[in-house]
Amino acid sequence: MPGIAHSVPRRRPGNERIKRQVKPSSRTSQRLSASTGLAPLGRGCGDALPTLQSVPSSFRLELNGELLYSLCIGLVERKVVDEALWIASGKIPVVFARNAIQKRLESFVKLENVDYSLEVCDEPESSYGSSDDTLPSSLFVMFELQSTGVLVIGEAMEALDAQEEKLGAAFYVVLISALWHWMYLYDHTSAERYSEQMQEMREDDDPDNQDHYEIPDVGRAIPPAVKEVDAWPVHTARRMLRKHRNGPCGDWIRRLFRIATLARTRYKPASVETYYDAPPGPSFAIVFKENDAIHACLDEDLQNYYESSHEPTCAVRFRPDQAEEFDQALRTATIFLRLNQEMSELVGILNEWGEQHASRDQYRPEPALRAA
């Protein structure tokens, strides 16, 4: 929240009396040489101006300052940061709050395969006007997507299938069902929607233009086992995976269950849809093979990403002077970051494993497109 600074010039107290028609001394001449031709119009009143040495020469005005101070006090009381940071931040609330949150983030989380920006504000930036239900005494904590992480999961699914048939599909289905509770994904269902939209556009277009459409063949890119397991109850897929927690791919499965456990913690997102043009962008994209039809749909969709104002991936509204709301906001932000950290690490592990075990001479085609 920007501050407004003002400065006050300092003045010397007292005045001087100058007698007219008296030849000045050499000392007086030197003192008045810079003001040749100037003389007082009358005698001074004899009263000196008060000194301003004890008056601050500048001040800052923080908009909604009471919210900032409540936020700063709450962060220190909950030991999110040490109060020594208050001195290091120049005792400026908005600087302290920013530094405190950034230091907290850097202390326990590092995301390598996805990127977010964090914003704490009293009102999101509005596209069409402010929301009617915004509370004047509340703050928003928002994580806005900066870049999408991509997981190429096909090779890992084949390794899981070597342990038990359809185990790879169970892994995939449990993963996407858990993540969808907290963030937007780009998976096979997203690609299917894009393909259907392109098909509808083609059918509505002039017949002479229909041959120019290239629509990814998403159906062929989806492993048949995924379609089958997707129809199972999720607990059936979990039960299959649980049998292999100590197997050759046990580390992957244990990480998956940590993600699923974190994702079960539900939260009530802040209502921000009136501020934005579109829902959040995909935090992660999960494709089966590099440059397959799902990957092709993702590339096409991401080209239009910056044409809209997207909602934040995670948004929580709270009143900093309400302890329960403050604590809930901290819990939500922490779970969101831990969930992304677990997923980011899983993406790194599975992508690296897939690159090492993929066939060296495997043909990698261009994004799979077919003429409609």
- Dist CA 240 CA 326 (whole Å): 39
**pLDDT higher than threshold 80 for residue 50:** no
**Is residue 2's pLDDT more than 50?**
no
Please report, for the chain, the start and end positions of each structural domain, with discontinuous segments joined by +: 109-371
Residue 28 has pLDDT above 50, yes or no: no
Which residues in 60-71 are b (16+ Cβ under 10 Å) and which e?
Answer: eebebeebbbbb
Question: Which tops the pLDDT comparison, 141 or 161?
Answer: 161
DSSP code string of 158-198: HHHHTTSTTHHHHHHHHHHHHHTTTS-EE-HHHHHHHHHHH
Which pLDDT band holds residue 134 (cuts at 50, 70, 90)? low
Tokens of 322: 């309400």
Band of residue 156 on the pLDDT scale cut at 50, 70, 90 = very high
3-state secondary structure of 327: helix
Pick 280 or 107 by higher pLDDT. 280
> Do 325 and 318 form a contact (C-beta atoms < 8 A)?
yes
pLDDT digits (tens, 9 = 90+) for 231-278: 999 999 999 999 999 999 999 999 999 999 999 987 778 888 788 888
- 179 Cβ contact partners less than 8 Å away, ≥ 6 residues apart: 185, 259, 263, 283, 284, 339, 343
Binning pLDDT at 50, 70 and 90, where does residue 285 land?
Answer: very high
The predicted structure's pLDDT at residue 367: 37
Work out the average pLDDT over 8-13. 42
DSSP state of 47: P
Distance CA 295, CA 153 (A): 12
Quote the pLDDT of residue 160.
97
- Report the SS3 class of residue 371: strand
Q: 58: pLDDT confidence band, cut at 50, 70 and 90?
A: very low
Given a contact cutoff of 8 angstroms between Cβ atoms, the answer to whether 247 and 315 are in contact is no
What's the pLDDT at 209? Answer: 73
Q: Which residues contact 188 (CB under 8 A, 6 or more apart)?
A: 218, 221, 222, 226, 288, 294
Half-sphere exposure at residue 188, Cβ-oriented, CA atoms within 13 angstroms = 24
Say what the pLDDT of residue 38 is.
46
Supply the pLDDT for residue 301: 85
Average pLDDT for 298-308 = 82
What 8-state DSSP symbol labels residue 278?
A: B
